[in-house]
Amino acid sequence: MTGVTIIGTGSYAPGRPVTNHDLARVMDTSDEWIRPRTGIHQRHYAGEGETASDLGFRAAERAIEAAGIDRGEIDAILCSSMTSDYKFPGSGGLIGAKLGIQGVPAFDLQQQCASMPFSMQVANGLISTGAAKTILMVGADAHAGFMPWKDWDVLYGERDAEVSPEARAQATKHRGLAVIFGDGAGAMVLRKSEVEGHGFLGAQLHTDGDYAEDIALLGGGFRSRPFLTKEMIDEELYVPRMAGRSLFKHAVKKLPKVVRELCARHECTTEDVDWVIAHQANDRINFAVRDALKLPPEKVPSNIARYGNTSSATIAILLDELIRGGKIERGQLLCLLGLGAGLHWGAALMRY
Ligand code: UT7
C-alpha cells in the first residue's frame, strides 16, 4: 500500500513584516500583550489589490519548481482559502489561470485553519481512485481586507501621524482578532508514493456546525436579503467575530484527542510521530497539545513568531520551511494537525 506524498513545497509571504510595535500605531495594543499570549512577533499583509490567488500562485510556482515537474503535469488543484478573491468563485481556478493551466479542475475547500488535514484526505482520494496523478495543493489567505483600520501608511510608518481617536477606537475594538492574523500562502505538489508503506496513511476529521459562530464572518452571507447591506458595514460585520477563549479551549481538548485516536487506528503511538506540524493559531495552544501528548518541543515546531496565523496556509508554510531546511527526512512520520472555523478539526498521518 502506498498513499499520496509530497514531492515539492513552496511558500510566500507578501510585503515587509509588520511588528507588534507597528500595530500599536493604529490601536491600543503592545508587544508585551501580544508576544507572551500568542508567540507572535510580526506578520505580513497583502498589499492593496493583492489577493489570495496572487499569494497562492507565488507559493505554487515555488512548489512546482521544487518538485521538478512541468506545470502541465498538474491534473488537479486543491485550494483552501477563507479570504478568496471573490465571494464566489473560489480562488483555485484563478491560481490555475495564473499558472497557465486553464482547464485543469480546481476544487475549493473551506476548512480554514484545519484545511491541510482535510485536503490531504481529498488528495489521497483523488489519487487512489485514479482521478488525478499530480495534485497542486494550495492554502492561501489574505486577511488584510478585514483588518479594522484604514491608515495603512501610518501602520507601515510611511506617514508620521496619529490616527484619529475614532479610528483607534474602531481598531482597538477588534484587537483580539486583528493582532493574530497574517497573510501568506503555502503550496505542495502531491503524487502517489513509490515506496511501499510510505505516503498518506489516514486522517481523522471532524466538523461541528453548532460552533460555526465561534469564528465566522457574519456580514455578507446569504442568510440575508440582499446578502450585503449598508447596516452590515455600519456594524463592522466585515470583520470576523471570534470567541478566542472558546476556540482555545476546543483546540487544547480536541487536538490531542484526535492525534491519539488517529495513531491508535494506524497501530502507532504518539511517540512514533517524528513531527507534529500543527496549525499556528497561538503558541500556547501548541504547547498545551505538546504537553498533553508528552512530546518533546523539537517535535512540534513553530514559526508563528514570523508570520502570525495565516489560516489555511500555516501548515504548508511550516512544512515548506522544514523540508527546504533539510529538517524533515524521507521515511519520517508526520502528523498534520489543525482546528479552525467551522468548527473543523482533524489530523492526517503521512510517512514522508
Ligand atoms: O486560527 C483558528 C482560530 N483562532 C484561534 O484558535 C484563536 C484562539 N484564541 C486565542 O489565541 C486567544 O483567545 C487570543 C490570543 C485571541 C486572545 O487572548 P485571550 O487571553 O483569550 O484574551 P481576551 O480576548 O480574553 O482578552 C483579555 C484582555 C481583555 O481585557 P480586559 O477585558 O481583561 O480588561 C482584552 O480587552 O486582553 C485585552 N486584549 C488586548 N490587549 C492588548 C485583547 N486583545 C488585546 C490586544 N492588545 N491585542
Q: Report yes or no: 86 and 116 within 8 Å, Cβ to Cβ.
A: no
Catalytic residue flag (residue 20): no
The reply to whether 199-351 shares the fold of 4-192 is yes
**Ligand 1 in reach of 33 Cβ (< 6 A):** yes
Q: Which residues of the chain have pLDDT under 70?
A: none
pTM, whole model, 2 decimals?
0.97
Pick the CATH number of 199-351 from 3.30.950.10, 3.40.50.300, 3.40.47.10, 3.10.20.90: 3.40.47.10
Q: Answer yes or no: is the C-beta of 287 below 6 A from any ligand 1 atom.
A: no
How much is the pLDDT for 220? 95
Expressed in angstroms and rounded, the spacing between residue 33 Cα and the centre of ligand 1 is 9
Each residue of 233-250: pLDDT tens digit? 999 999 999 999 999 999
Q: What is the pLDDT of residue 1?
A: 79
With cell 494506524, the residue in question is 266
pLDDT for res 2: 87
pLDDT for the residue 168: 98
Domain chopping of the chain, boundaries:
4-192, 199-351
279 is catalytic: yes
d(CA 346, CA 111): 10
Q: How far is the CA of 37 from the centre of ligand 1 (A)?
A: 8
* Probe target for ligand 1 pocket from 80, 81, 175, 252, with the most ligand atoms within 8 Å of CB: 175
**Residue 309 is among the residues annotated as catalytic for this protein:** yes
Distance CA 256, CA 270 (A): 10
Q: Indicate the class that CATH gives domain 4-192.
A: alpha beta
- Cα separation, 232 vs 117, in Å, equals 33
Tens digits of residue pLDDT in 322-351: 999 999 999 999 999 999 999 999 999 999
Euclidean distance between CA atoms 83 and 85, whole angstroms? 7
Residue of 250, 309, 335, 344 with catalytic role: 309
pLDDT for position 348: 98
Pocket of ligand 1 contains residue 215 by CB under 6 Å: yes
